[in-house]
Amino acid sequence: MMHAALGIWILSVVVCVGRGHHHIGHTKEAQDTVNSDDNSVSLVTSANKDFAFRLYKKLAAHADSQGKNIFYSPASVSAALAALSVGAREDTHRQLFSGLGFNNSQLTQTDVAQSFRILLDKANATSQDTSEGTAVFMDTRFKPQPEFLEVLKESYFADGFNVDFTKITESADTINKYVSDKTNGKIDKLVDSLDENTFMYLISYIYYKGKWATPFDPKLTKEDMFNVEKNDQVAVQMMNMEEDFDTYYDQAINTSVLHLPFNSSYSMLLLLPDDMATLESAICPGHVTKWLKWMKSRRYDIFIPKFSIKSSYKLNDVLTEMGMSDMFSDRADLSGISEGQKLVVSEVVHQATLDVDEAGATAAAATGIGITLLSFRHIPVMKFNRPFMVLITERNTENILFLGKIINPNK
């Protein structure tokens, strides 16, 4: 039996250029709503952070990720799948909620939707250089449930478009132009080809633009070697700065942590473990909380490679392993999206980009820290000259926008 295909494309980009501190004004009614939803928002935020690391471990374990850079936006993936759950029913819905970590008895579908509305509203109101949202592209033959579209519009800030998916090239161009506009050209070709049986595409995007609070001096950037493996080195442009930095050495997992704040409430944490496998198997949201709380400031001479990477994932297998399998099969129940057609998810695809330079960073990846001592100056050196992890987080909520690992800055 031929089913209508439902494609989910998840994209994300972070560009670091200047962002100041902003105060968000609320009407009394809006503030009352925020206060009444605080518990739900806290539960959803906690689930999102836990999902970030569970997804990372799955990506790191997959054969097609072995020896490769990893970079993705867990916030974007969570938002897309949460939006899909609005239209899921029965076991399909239970699997999505459980996989995302929303299977708390205190969380209903309405609670989750309202929480995402509050979180997205805060993110988009913080700066004109931050944009998060979703979009739904629907075939002209498609008869969606009005309630589904209403929740996506109100809670996930979804834009809605009617397209004719039988016109494959034209439809792909429409989606690609939208994506390019929302990511300022960073992801300019999300869709290569479309199946004419496609009835709907659901897209989640994140774009973040900011600057380092303390930028690097380009004059200090020099060519240096990066140790991909024991006997494999590549030449990189290594940035350098001597400043006071917040750092933490986590003895439990033998990992050095460097805090690089952006000119906003967002930060990049760079992690250099003695053993990458130990860090990857242990890392969890509690580590981020501990690091941000207990970091101490001292002077360091740091070296970080400039790099630009782009990643693309098909998440079907990973999400199936995480318990979200029915949506890809004949068992899919997405009747909350449309009762008229039997829908099944064809693909969940994620793309993200990361550029790190003297001014800031674009998107996210994995970063780490190598520490040696220059004894004659008594200033320790943190040198990112071997594989490291990186995450980009909002310091107040500890919401993780991007997470990854840099194995080779040149790939």
The 10s digit of each residue's pLDDT in 332-350 is: 888 898 877 778 888 788 8
d(CA 6, CA 334): 10
- Look at residue 11 in the predicted model and tell me its pLDDT: 61
The candidate with the shortest Cα–Cα distance to 16, out of 384, 348, 313, 304, is 304
Domains of the chain (ranges; CATH) run 4-210+309-354 (3.30.497.10), 218-306+364-406 (2.30.39.10)
pLDDT in tens, the chain (411 residues): 334 445 555 565 544 332 223 333 444 554 554 455 688 999 999 999 999 999 999 999 886 677 789 989 998 899 989 999 999 999 999 999 999 999 877 899 999 999 999 988 887 776 556 678 888 888 888 888 899 999 999 999 889 889 888 888 898 899 889 888 888 888 887 777 777 677 888 888 887 777 888 999 999 999 999 999 888 999 999 999 999 999 999 999 999 999 999 888 888 999 999 999 999 999 999 999 999 999 999 999 999 998 887 888 888 899 999 999 998 888 888 889 887 777 888 878 888 888 888 885 443 222 111 111 123 345 788 899 999 999 988 888 888 989 999 999 988
CA dihedral over 16, 260, 304, 400, signed as positive or negative: negative
The candidate with the shortest Cα–Cα distance to 402, out of 116, 202, 210, is 210
d(CA 90, CA 110): 16
Q: How does the average pLDDT of the chain come out, rounded?
A: 81
- Look at residue 110 in the predicted model and tell me its pLDDT: 94
The candidate with the shortest Cα–Cα distance to 13, out of 178, 157, 184, is 184
Question: Encoding tokens for residue 173?
Answer: 């161009």
C-alpha distances in Å from residue 193, one per residue of 20, 170, 301: 40, 10, 48
Q: Answer whether 0.75 is exceeded by the pTM.
A: yes
Structure confidence by residue, pLDDT tens digits, 376-392 = 345 788 899 999 999 98
- Look at residue 222 in the predicted model and tell me its pLDDT: 96
Rg (CA), the chain: 21
Structure confidence by residue, pLDDT tens digits, 217-251 = 999 999 999 999 888 999 999 999 999 999 999 99
Element (H, E) at 288: helix 285-294
The candidate with the shortest Cα–Cα distance to 348, out of 122, 119, 83, 112, is 83
C-alpha distances in Å from residue 58, one per residue of 22, 103, 146, 267, 411: 36, 20, 35, 24, 21
